[in-house]
Amino acid sequence: MPGDEQRRKVINAWCLYDWANSSFATIILSAVFPIYFVKVAGASLPRNLATAYWGYTASGALLLVALSAPALGAIADYSGAKKKFLLAFATIGIVFTCLLALAGKGDWPAASLFFTFGYIGFSGSIIFYESLLPHICGPEDIDRVSSKGFSIGYLGGGLLLALNLAWILRPRMFGMANAEVATRFSFLSAGIWWAVFSIPLFRNAPEPEAARQRGQVNPIRAGFKRLSRTFRNIRQHRELTKFLLAFWLYSDGIGTVIKMATVYGTEIGIGRNALIGALLLVQFVGIPCTMAFAWLAKPLGVKRAIFTALGIYCIVSVGGYFMTRAWHFWLLAVIVATAQGGAQALSRSLFGRMVPKAKSAEFFGFYSVSSKFAGIIGPFLFAVIGQITGTSRLSIVSLLVFFIGGAFLLSRVNVEAGMRAASEDVPL
């Protein structure tokens, strides 16, 4: 049927954007650029200062997006411009990701500037990308579609990372002078990858209708007005707010595991090759496991499936305390890979179930704020406990607070009531 075929085409195009932006998430945020920033771009700085500057750069970019996300979402909803905002932010991210290739040895100010704008583009585009989810599929498919997007993202990021690592380890085989040149080409490849695989989304996904007709009203002014009204009427979406608090807590724990795993592994003496290999393993093991959680959500329900993922993270927190060998790190990486994508994908789809469609960009802006600010407390607690005790072993155990606390708050969320509130909501 033409309608079903077009719907599948739109869903596939939406999922492919996860494949596209995974180049930034994997190459720039996680695997390659952080090391390059400290060792090459920040070569003129003391090592601890280079690391600090990297933290300030990432935090500053994240803060800018977190503070502006709800307002931008409200404006996009009101003006019917979700795809336009997505295109604008993606373009900013792609351009500045490519510009990272120009940052050479000692060029940490340029690297910081390019990364900041690249991260703003990446994070901003995700807000409007995720806000399209409730518009392209119904409640019966939202878990599967969200999980499919994350799975495809894992695959895309893993394939590009494997190719980039081959360049870096064997640069002459690929016609590159040395590992530094190969690394800079990897940044360029991340931008090109992001640009090329974004095309299907912009060509095939329809622009959702505006929340109301614009008339003669300024959409920016109306967007901010809508946002203030949403704050005043937040009790209408009480279950959604409770979920955001739960998500904020357990997402902080997940984010801390992602950010601190290699640092912790290095501290206890695990070699670089083992750490990189484990990172690649997570990318590929995460593909089937993310889809498995979408399947698990059908008989168990979405909340119970998320509880399962959080239980797995509790095992990781305890197991990390006893880790001493490289194979221990690999084993825990496999365990993390079974839960990471599932927890993230089902959280996104559960939130999408309780979002009023007319305000999807605005509410996903709040969702984005939660995920951004959720990355602050966990690493700070990890560092403080490690400094006080002289070892990070108790730091990793401390993450149980986030997973157990998040699971408790999630247990208090009435999803059905949240869905009813979303369906009864009217455009402001």
User: 10 Å Cβ neighbour count for 177?
Assistant: 9
Q: Using an 8 Å Cβ cutoff, are 185 and 104 in contact?
A: no
Q: Which of 122, 86, 128 is nearest to 194 (CA)?
A: 122
Phi, psi of 105 (to 5 degrees): -65, 125
The contacts of residue 55 (CB under 8 Å, 6+ apart) are none
The contacts of residue 179 (CB under 8 Å, 6+ apart) are 168, 169, 171
User: 10 Å Cβ neighbour count for 17?
Assistant: 28
Q: What does the pLDDT look like over 192-231, one tens digit per residue? A: 999 999 999 999 988 877 655 444 455 556 555 655 665 6
User: 10 Å Cβ neighbour count for 63?
Assistant: 13
pTM of full prediction above 0.95: no
**pLDDT band at residue 362, thresholds of 50, 70 and 90?**
low
Scored b (16 or more CB within 10 A) or e, 327-351 reads ebbbebbebbbbbbbbbbbbbbbbb
Look at residue 388 and tell me whether its pLDDT is greater than 50.
Answer: yes
The domain limits of the chain are 1-201, 234-428
Largest CA distance in the chain: 66
Look at residue 345 and tell me whether its pLDDT is greater than 80.
Answer: yes
**pLDDT band at residue 135, thresholds of 50, 70 and 90?**
confident
**CATH code linked to domain 234-428:** 1.20.1250.20
Q: Using an 8 Å Cβ cutoff, are 252 and 377 in contact?
A: yes
Q: Using an 8 Å Cβ cutoff, are 382 and 396 in contact?
A: yes
Q: What does the pLDDT look like over 80-109, one tens digit per residue? A: 788 888 999 999 999 999 999 999 999 999
Q: Quick one: 54 exposed, middle or buried, by C-beta within 10 A (0-12, 13-18, 19+)?
A: buried
Q: Which fold has domain 1-201?
A: Growth Hormone; Chain: A; (1.20.1250)
- DSSP string covering 17-67: HHHHHHHIIIIIIIISHHHHIIIIITTTS-HHHHHHHHHHHHHHHHHHHHH
Higher pLDDT, 113 or 253: 113
**pLDDT band at residue 187, thresholds of 50, 70 and 90?**
very high
Q: CA dihedral defined by 42, 44, 47, 52, rounded to 10 degrees?
A: -50
